[in-house]
Amino acid sequence: MRPVPLTLLAASLLLATGIASAANPTTTISATAVKTAEQLRDKAMLDDTGYRIVESLTTEIGPRLAGSDADQRARDWAVAKFKALGYDKVYTEEVKYPLWVRRSEHAAIVAPFPQSLVLSALGYSPGTPKGGLTAQVVKFDSLDALKAADPDSVKGKIVYIGYRMQRAKDGHDYGMGSAVRTGGPVLAQTKGAAGFLLRSAGTDADQRIAHTGVTGFRDPAKAIPAAALSNPDADQLERILAYGKPVTLKLDLDCGVVGEYTGANVIGEITGRKHPDQVVAIGGHLDSWDPGTGAIDDGAGVAIAMAAGKLIHDLPQRPDRTIRVIAFANEEMGLWGGRAYADKHAGEVAKFQLGTESDFGAGPVWRMSASVKPQARDAIDQIAKVLAPIGVAYDTKKPGGGGSDLSQMHGKGMAALSLTQDGTHYFDWHHTSNDTLDKIDPKQLAQNVAVYATFSYMAAQADGDFGSAPGAFANDGAGE
């Protein structure tokens, strides 16, 4: 257990005795605002704005790999969509990042049983030399097993990690699945491997479809070709390895970093009536991986946030504070949009009333948790009461992390929620050609919009703040 800072201890003692200091009064939400929020929630549950937005994005733009031609078209789409929805202010903020391209990818067992394999190159993987890379495969069951390996056993070989990701409602095993994908290639490279393969970080077992995703490579000079095998192809490779004969595999990847790219976060605002400079920040990421059309990752998140703002816009009166919807650039290859945003806006963190991002598909939100100051817990309770009838349980123990890109702003001190979606099936489709619009249930998406519209509006109307300040939540455990 971490030691409890004295200030926190003092604050909880104050809370326990029901006294809030004059300098830090209890934050509450008026009965009028609660009533409006309930109406907003009920309207949103029956509204299809969110679905129409994600349908438009995935149909008119389709895949949106960061830095591709479609990236620019997606930004143009987002600007036009915010305007069409009636947002008061629409603008972009530049984000620079390395430009990685995928041209082609093939692999085949050369010996002992020649046959091709289905795989997908990973983000920041370099290409193989002309004519491909042919080498022996060495298998590990886990990242730890590779960590423990003698470099001599790995040198010049293609390292394969066969970790199988487990299904869970909260998707927690992606922690390990993604660690194998990001950390495995880096570790293999430092031990002298020639290439890296993993069993896809996905929970589908029967689809001959690979799950792509980013690696931890950031320096092209220290990178080796890296790719993910589909789960059935990983099974096949493991069966062949089980014969106990040396297995030789040919990897032929044409991909790599080709320069730097300047993209942008696209931002739309519903301007606050009383405190326009104070913002509730919500969003999703506009980029997607290239095999699918980025419906669940993260067209859904962009649509949920945009639609929530639109529903608040449609109220008879503007909210007290500004609702800021951010469509982040290049989340997939390393939170580039989120990090650029947090670096640019760290100095204004106290103006961020509350925030969180949707980036876990389109399943219903079932859990809420918060990182706020103790004097704002009453207001979070009020939000939880309005969200309970649509299936959201308030977990008072867990911190709120702010979602993927906005976790960076939370790291600077923004008060944040976590709104956990049902991710039971998310990793069946995540980062694959199966990430398409048909995976989204319009009613479940509407529930998400209702949750985002309700909490955003209530936070915007609150009498008082949620404790955002430089470094405010540095020890809340959200990043663990």
Instruction: Give contact residues for Zn ion (rule: CB under 5 A).
Output: 297-298, 359
Contacts of 426 (CB under 8 A, 6+ apart): 171, 296, 360, 361, 363
| Packing angle, helices 300-313 and 31-45, rounded to 10 | 130
Tokens (6 digits) for 52: 């129409």
d(CA 87, CA 89): 6
Strands 365-371 and 416-421 come out as antiparallel
Give least dist CB 284 to Zn ion, A.
Answer: 8
Give least dist CB 470 to Zn ion, A.
Answer: 27
**Which residue number, 196 or 328, has a Cβ lying nearer to Zn ion?**
328
**Which residue number, 252 or 297, has a Cβ lying nearer to Zn ion?**
297
Tokens (6 digits) for 463: 């009498």
CA atoms within 13 A on the CB side of 378: 16
Query: By the 8 A CB rule, do 257 and 131 touch?
Result: no
Give least dist CB 129 to Zn ion, A.
Answer: 32
Q: Which helix (H) or strand (E) holds 428?
A: helix 426-429
**Which residue number, 171 or 319, has a Cβ lying nearer to Zn ion?**
171
Tokens (6 digits) for 321: 């504070």
Identify the three-state secondary structure at position 263. strand
**Which residue number, 143 or 333, has a Cβ lying nearer to Zn ion?**
333
Strand partners, 139: 160
Query: By the 8 A CB rule, do 433 and 292 touch?
Result: yes
Q: How many residues does the chain have?
A: 480
Give least dist CB 23 to Zn ion, A.
Answer: 40
Give least dist CB 423 to Zn ion, A.
Answer: 12
**Which residue number, 225 or 361, has a Cβ lying nearer to Zn ion?**
361
Amino acid type, 186: V
**Which residue number, 66 or 249, has a Cβ lying nearer to Zn ion?**
66
Give least dist CB 209 to Zn ion, A.
Answer: 18
**Which residue number, 290 or 297, has a Cβ lying nearer to Zn ion?**
297
If we measure between CA atoms, which residue out of 350, 312, 387 comes closest to residue 469?
350
Give least dist CB 404 to Zn ion, A.
Answer: 6
**Which residue number, 330 or 371, has a Cβ lying nearer to Zn ion?**
330
Give least dist CB 295 to Zn ion, A.
Answer: 11
Tokens (6 digits) for 155: 């040198």
**Which residue number, 250 or 431, has a Cβ lying nearer to Zn ion?**
431
Give least dist CB 324 to Zn ion, A.
Answer: 19
DSSP letters, 79-136, are HHHHHHTT-SEEEEEEEEEEEEEEEEEEEEEEESS-EEE-EEEPBTPPPPPTT-EEEE
